Amino acid sequence: MTSTASPVIAWTAIAAGVLDVRASPAFGAEAEILILPALPAEAFCLTSIGAALWRRLVEDGPLAPHHVSSAERALLEEMEEHAIVARDPGHRARVHRIDRATLSSPFHELVHALVAHVAGERGIRCVFIKGPTLHRQGLRTREHSGDVDLWCAPDRWDDLADALQAWGWEREPHPWRGAQAHHTITMKPTSWGCEIDVHRRMPGLTLDDADAFALLMRDAVAVRFAGAEVLVPRADAHAVLAALHAVRPEIGRPRPAGAHAVAVDLLTRATGSIAAAREMGAVPALLDELREIDPGTDFSQDAGGTPRDWEWRRQPTRARAYLIALRDEPPLVLLRCAVRSLWAPDDVALASARRRGEPTTSVVRARYRRVKRGISDLARTVRRPAGTEADGTRR
């Protein structure tokens, strides 16, 4: 759209995310404002005259046409083409303030704002989990992770994953797509520096997806990242989710040394974590940790039920895990997942090779190795008694 396509009501600063990066060690001395356009594009920095004019739009409010010079108008029209200026003071992406970066990685912070912008435009509810909020809430010392995690409304997670593709992420292929057992979509960056994990649930809870998300939303609190207000879990619920992540089983592997201690530390740091674990249906998965924190409490009334995704994740082989995870799927979904698992499509085969660190771009070779691993898993499944854990013990 050209600048003459519609009359100027008032020039307005817009963005999907913005940070004041003056004096930030991540940028050169001339960089002033890191800005993410309101339409799909890469972030860039404003400097000197451009930064001053854009800052004026934010701090002094929208500017009427008679309040700008001809040179400023030309610059504003150029900014409009880059989707950081609009002609409408009521624009959905209008910027009211420019915050300084709060994370050591401003781009990582900007991704939070980007996801919130994309979700907000589509009316998709989401809560950001793990990552830098755990540090802000005093639940861990590490500042942030290498990716961005969010828990999305279960009925809209596919919509959000699809929408993020226009902004520079590609959906990681998964053989279980469409199945209830599939609980996380990994979005791989094409230009940005971090992955985005879109969750429909967190493994380890006994509640169904919709009830668990509703409970999380009920007590979520707002924080700011790169000028965007986003929701994060309340500290006690967040400690429970992080503890579940620490102790969750992995197919064919024993629990990592120190996982129990990490979970205990997380739960101890948050006041009210025991009550939160009970309400969220996390007691069965965290029973050992909760008993260590409060040995005098009787958890027997809360220990019933099977944590979601726990049984299949603790299996010694992928073949056995797949059989358990998919056994309750509708016949057509089960058939599709079985075919995709046994004879993977090109994208699934190559993604599987990448996850295992196999340097190949050959679909035939990647698929052959996947089938070979599957046969090996089936053989081990037949030899190993049912109910045996990954470390050889029995449940």
Locate 40 and state its tokens. Answer: 């799909």
pLDDT at 302: 86
Strands 17-20 vs 33-36: parallel, antiparallel or unpaired: antiparallel
C-alpha R_g of the chain: 24
Residue partners of 44: CB distance under 8 A and separation at least 6: 34, 35
pLDDT of residue 395: 43
Tokens (6 digits) for 277: 């674990």
Q: Are strands 169-171 and 184-189 parallel, antiparallel or unpaired?
A: antiparallel
List the one residue out of 172, 117, 127 whose CA is nearest residue 148: 127
**What is the secondary structure of 220-260 as a DSSP string?**
-EEEEETTEEEEE--HHHHHHHHHHHHH--BTTBPPPTTHH
Taking the C-alpha atoms of residue 237 and residue 243, their distance in angstroms, rounded to an integer, is 10
Q: Is the dihedral of CA 123, 212, 187, 336 positive or negative?
A: negative
And the tokens for 251? 């197919």
Q: What pTM did the predictor assign?
A: 0.84
Where would I find the H helices in the chain? 48-59, 70-81, 106-121, 132-136, 157-164, 209-218, 235-247, 259-269, 273-280, 287-293, 310-313, 318-325, 331-342, 346-355, 363-383
What are the residues facing 19 on neighbouring strands? 34
28-66 burial code (b ≥16 CB/10 A, e <16): eeebbbbbbbbebbebebbeeebbebbbbbbeeebbeee
Tens of pLDDT along the chain (395 residues)?
444 557 778 999 999 999 999 988 888 889 999 999 999 999 999 999 999 999 999 999 899 988 889 999 999 999 999 999 999 999 999 999 999 988 888 999 999 999 999 999 999 999 999 999 999 999 998 887 789 999 999 999 999 999 999 999 999 888 888 888 899 999 999 988 899 999 999 999 999 999 999 999 999 999 999 999 999 999 999 999 999 999 999 998 888 889 999 999 999 999 999 999 999 999 999 999 999 999 999 998 888 788 989 999 999 888 888 889 888 888 888 777 767 666 666 566 556 666 666 666 666 666 656 556 555 555 555 555 555 555 444 44
